[in-house]
Amino acid sequence: MPGFFYGRLFPSGSLHLIHSSYSVHWLSEVPKGLEQNKGNIFVADTSPKTVFTAYREQSRRDFTMFLSLRAEEVVPGGHMVLTLLGRCKTDPCGNKIWGLLAQSLVDLATQFLKHHSCINESIFFFGGGEFIEGSDVDTFNLPYYNPCTEETKAIVQTEGSFNLDKLRTFELSWDPCNGDDIVVSGRNVAKSIRAVAEPMLASHFAGAIIDILFINYARRVTEHLALENTKHFNVAILLTRKSIGILVMKMTEDDSGQNVTNCLQELLLDQLPISTICSTSLPGIGLNTRRWRRT
């Protein structure tokens, strides 16, 4: 079932289990106010503090919306398992895998500026007659944010629809094959990042730069892996949908104090609906679903 998971996907109360694998670190859009993030494509050591704030707030709004929408679709007591890329520290700087891609873009810009400065210092020409303006390097930013565990816990608690039952972290090498040949590893990492980032890069820059960009990126990754075996920091969380009774009581306890027993009985007497297991990847990618009836 195709859909964008920052909107409604399924009927109310129709899901028992949701599994999302490496999805919710992707934002619904690039944050506003990144004009000063020049030479970077994400939060970096040279980024102004306003850039971090913009990314953090966009992530908070998006994850809150994600939880709220899924809460409408999950039955009371239903579960949600999320795996996402995070970070082990509160400081968001130092995301090296995106930092190396940013450096590779700057390399191309600098290289072509030198070769074609006699034509126009603000234009970088590429094969096949394609070109980009130099300012495009400064205006490209990723719709991505890897939250620390404290941020994730706080958003779940504030949104209030789910209990956070478990949170586990683990690390994986950039190259899943993790072989001894760092040149091959550099190419493997470049291929995996290209699979994710190419559509965004091609829509912002001239499509002709993609091949040469990722050749340069593979070289930079290889040089980095020769010095450090950097790993992805992963976060896995298990959430349980709070019961309707608890939510109704929470909404009414500060109201007129009327007895809501009859209301709760009416809400909870219905049989559980058909349940669905769904798996998601990126916000715009389709969902594979399987349905069964409760026995």
C-alpha closest to that of 123 among 206, 203, 40: 206
- Predicted pLDDT at 256: 42
- Predicted pLDDT at 133: 60
Parse the chain into domains and list their residue ranges. Answer: 16-243
- Predicted pLDDT at 91: 80
- Predicted pLDDT at 142: 97
Helices in the chain by DSSP H: which ranges? 49-73, 96-116, 135-139, 149-159, 182-204, 210-225, 244-252, 261-269
- Predicted pLDDT at 250: 46
Give the residue ranges of the chain where pLDDT is below 50: 118-119, 121-130, 246-295
- Predicted pLDDT at 132: 56
Q: In what helix (H) or strand (E) does residue 231 lie, and over which residues does it extend?
A: strand 231-241
- Predicted pLDDT at 137: 81
Quote the pTM value: 0.79
CATH number assigned to the domain covering 16-243: 1.10.1200.270
Asked whether the beta carbons of 196 and 267 are under 8 A apart, the reply is no
- Predicted pLDDT at 259: 40
